[in-house]
Amino acid sequence: MDATGGVGNDVRFDFASVAIFDDGRVAVSFLDSTTTSPSTTNPDRKGPAVAIEGATTLGAKLRPEPELTPELGTPYAAFDFESGNQDWTTGGTPTWTRSAPGAGTDGTDDPNGTAFAMAGPTQYVDNADATLESPLITAPAGPAVLAFQLKTDTEQGFDTMSAQWSADGTTWEPIATFSGRNTGYPSWQQVTLGFTSPAGQIRVRFQFTSDLACSALTPACGEFTGVHVDNVIVGSQATKN
């Protein structure tokens, strides 16, 4: 990796970067070169577009489980969001909304499909904090996978979507955090994340947060389109030979 700058444990990259934290969390950042400078509407928010503290870069995996790029094995639950909310619940302000388009099989938008999104003038707003939470999912103990299709275009380094899991619905463990544009945008990206599940019932959720400026309706910042999530699967990690 070719770092472009950083002080101490702060690292900035020219391209999509992945970091593994000492506590097992994974941070994923999609760097858009148009957003590397401080905000044009709020110059007090300084610092690199991608700052990852206390992290070890990809290539020095700290834990044997879960794997950074696991393969999906046996699905425990799958949700395509085509027939209602499928028992997913929303919380926070504003709220995730199920709407068209969804993710097509070829990675392009499917105008006849639906997905959950935090997008547009009523959802991607300043100071947002909104969650999209799954129903209970029965899982055995061991390495697990959270897989989904993602399309994201947010203010790099300031507005984020976090994928999380919980065993009790109260304490949430982060799996990965996304900011900026996904790889291949405006196409959808297939995301596969690993985590270690306890035996019993778990939930997963997506949490979108934005800061005090540069929401979707700010032309000077780029008029970001927000976050879309579709085709969520929770399952086991495939055994590799």
Q: Confidence class of residue 44 from pLDDT cuts 50, 70 and 90? A: very low
Instruction: Please work out, in degrees rounded to the nearest 5, the angle formed at the alpha carbon of residue 55 by the alpha carbons of 54 and 60.
Output: 140
Q: Confidence class of residue 216 from pLDDT cuts 50, 70 and 90? A: low
Mean pLDDT of all residues in 53-69: 38
DSSP readout, 132-147?
EE---EEE-SEEEEEE
Q: Rounded distance, CA 31 to CA 34, Å?
A: 9
Q: What share of the chain is helix, strand, coil (3-state, %, to 5)?
A: 0, 45, 50
Q: Confidence class of residue 217 from pLDDT cuts 50, 70 and 90? A: low
pLDDT tens digits, 155-191: 999 999 999 999 999 999 999 999 999 999 999 999 9
Mean pLDDT of all residues in 25-39: 42
Domains and CATH numbers, the chain: 64-237 (2.60.120.200)
- Would you say residue 143 has pLDDT above 90? yes
Q: Rounded distance, CA 232 to CA 91, Å?
A: 18
Sign of CA dihedral 77, 82, 85, 90: positive
Helix (H) or strand (E) holding 84: none
Give the chain's mean pLDDT: 78
The pLDDT assigned to 2 comes to 39
Mean pLDDT of all residues in 202-208: 98
List all residues 6 or more positions away from 72 whose beta carbon is below 8 Å from its beta carbon: 145, 147, 192, 233, 235, 236, 237, 238
Mean pLDDT of all residues in 31-39: 37
- Please state, in angstroms and as integers, the Cα–Cα distance from residue 86 to each residue in 99, 137, 172, following that order: 14, 12, 21
Structure tokens at 201: 């019932």
The pLDDT assigned to 219 comes to 67
Check residue 34 and give left, alpha or beta (phi > 0: left; psi -120 to 50: alpha): alpha
The pLDDT assigned to 239 comes to 86
